[in-house]
Amino acid sequence: MRVLEVQGLHVRYGKRAAVHDVSLGVARGELLSLVGGSGAGKSTIAHAVAGLVAPSGGAILVNGVDLLAAPRRAQRALRLPLQLILQDPYSSLPNHLRVRSIVAEPLLVHRLGDRARRVAAALDAVGLPPREFAERYPHQLSGGQRQRVALARALVTDPAVLIADEPTAMLDATLRAGMTDLLKRLADERGLAVLHITHDLAMARRISDRIAVMHRGAIVEQGPAHQVLIAP
Ligand code: ADP
Ligand code: ADP
């Protein structure tokens, strides 16, 4: 069973349809890249899955349970297996908190214990040794390190699904390769299901198991990375 399954999703902003009848799924250990030009609707899908925008139709199943059909008060718990990272590592970290407190945030939200150990493990997993980084503030980090902190915060609850919305958009070429390799490794080694959003088809081909191509709010092609040929 696919840990994340999106079925017939529709999202509107006012009267305009941004996402039209989109279906996709991600299995454990699989990296699916959603590619397409600016305005195609990629981020809207990420935001709908993460609960940041309300769809006007369709289903979002996590481990077979439809989030949209569940009572509001149950949704936070149902979203526990999902975590999201966004593209801008400068605006996504609170400047007044130390790295260890930032990474611990989802543990507080979901009332999970064993915080110090989980935070250290998450920092280790993204290649930031806790001894060196845990006490720093965001202004004491490079852009690439900030993005790794955002990734550690997403991994700290040991999620089944990671949604990464253009996680490399603000990074230079070397850091971009490091971050995408890390996402690939998390899928391969930890069995994470990764929904990766990018406008970079060449990079998507390099790291993805499957690719879904979006155009004007709809998926126009979907398949194994080596078979998806149409440039968005
Ligand atoms: P992508 O991530 O592929 O660049 P988006 O999902 O951000 O595309 O946007 C899809 C469409 O929805 C675009 O036409 C965009 O202008 C519109 N849109 C995105 N966010 C909003 C919003 N908060 N309010 C109104 N329209 C939006
Ligand atoms: P533990 O006490 O298990 O090591 P944390 O390192 O997450 O867990 O610290 C516990 C809490 O204390 C955090 O949730 C955080 O909000 C708060 N805290 C402690 N020191 C700081 C600090 N320097 N900056 C921000 N928050 C802090």
pLDDT digits over 24-70, tens only?
999 999 999 999 999 999 999 999 999 999 999 999 999 999 999 99
Alpha carbon distance 174, 218 (integer Å): 32
- List the residue whose alpha carbon is closest to atom 21 of ligand 1: 13
Residue 89 has a pLDDT of 67
Ligand 1 atom closest to 36 (CA): 3
**Partners of 3 in the β-ladder:** none
- List the residue whose alpha carbon is closest to atom 14 of ligand 1: 39
- List the residue whose alpha carbon is closest to atom 20 of ligand 1: 44
Nearest to 51, CA basis, from 33, 74, 28, 31: 74
With a cut of 70, say whether residue 232 has pLDDT above it: no
- List the residue whose alpha carbon is closest to atom 22 of ligand 1: 13
| HSE-CB for 142 with a 13 A CA cutoff | 6
Nearest to 206, CA basis, from 179, 169, 232: 179
Mean pLDDT for 85-108 is 90
165 CA from centroid of ligand 1 (Å): 13
Alpha carbon distance 26, 188 (integer Å): 13
Alpha carbon distance 187, 27 (integer Å): 10
Residue 72 has a pLDDT of 84
Is 137's C-beta closer than 6 angstroms to any atom of ligand 2? no
85 CA from centroid of ligand 2 (Å): 22
- List the residue whose alpha carbon is closest to atom 19 of ligand 2: 101
Mean pLDDT for 89-111 is 91
Determine the 3-state secondary structure of 149 from DSSP: helix
ipTM: 0.69
Alpha carbon distance 16, 136 (integer Å): 43
Residue 167 has a pLDDT of 86
Q: Are 42 and 36 in contact (CB under 8 A)?
A: yes
Residue 117 has a pLDDT of 97
Is 97's C-beta closer than 6 angstroms to any atom of ligand 2? yes
Residue 91 has a pLDDT of 75
Is 40's C-beta closer than 6 angstroms to any atom of ligand 1? yes
- High-pLDDT (> 70) share of the chain, %: 97
Q: Give residue 35's Cα distance to chain centre.
A: 14
